[in-house]
Amino acid sequence: MGKESIKLIANNKKARHDYFIEQTFEAGISLVGTEVKSLRMGKCSLKEAYVKNEHGELIILGMNISPYEKGNIFNRDPLRPRKLLLHRQEINKIAGAVSQQGYTIVPLQVYLKGSLIKVEIGLAKGKKLYDKRADTAKRDVRREAERDFKVRITG
């Protein structure tokens, strides 16, 4: 097994801001040819995307893959639901957590792994407003400390 190159296509920054990510999973995604070409060009958005469990399958909804420019009649609806490909054991684990413990499933990033397109999904719990404030305060303190440290080194 050689080293597989990973190229980030889309990242969902808002997810880490709005949720505590407890566990992450790597899933394949069911796509058609023109969608793959469009993704390779980096035309994807995860901003309003979410994952839903329907009849024992995980479906990603709201993920926008822009139509391929040279795709003409073969282009599909950019917002169509797409099936995520996971092992049955992983799907059962995720579905159990969502139904019993109040978790939600959030897409975190889409990337190329070798020649395959993968989606990283996270089992997440929502943050309250005070949690978000605490995170921003920690980030500001860390940024200040780094800035002071840089000034001392160069000065």
- The HSE-up count of residue 114 (CA atoms within 13 Å, CB side) is 6
Q: Which stretches does DSSP call E strand in 18-126?
A: 19-29, 44-45, 50-54, 57-61, 64-65, 82-85, 104-113, 116-126
| Percent of the chain residues topping a pLDDT of 90 | 8
- Report whether pLDDT(55) > 50: yes
For residues 47-63, give the mean pLDDT: 87
Single pTM value for the model: 0.75
Contacts with 94 (C-beta within 8 Å, 6 or more apart), sequence order: 25, 53, 58, 86, 105, 121, 123
Q: Is the pLDDT of residue 74 over 70?
A: no
- What lies within 8 Å, CB to CB, of 14 at 6+ separation is 47
pLDDT digits (tens, 9 = 90+) for 112-133: 888 888 999 988 888 777 777 8
Closest CA to 67 of 92, 34, 96: 34
Please check the confidence at residue 3 and state whether its pLDDT lies above 90. Answer: no
Domains of the chain: 6-127 (2.40.280.10)
Work out the average pLDDT over 131-147.
Answer: 83
- Rounded to the nearest angstrom, the gap between the alpha carbon of residue 18 and the centroid of all alpha carbons in its chain is 13
User: What does the pLDDT read at residue 87?
Assistant: 93
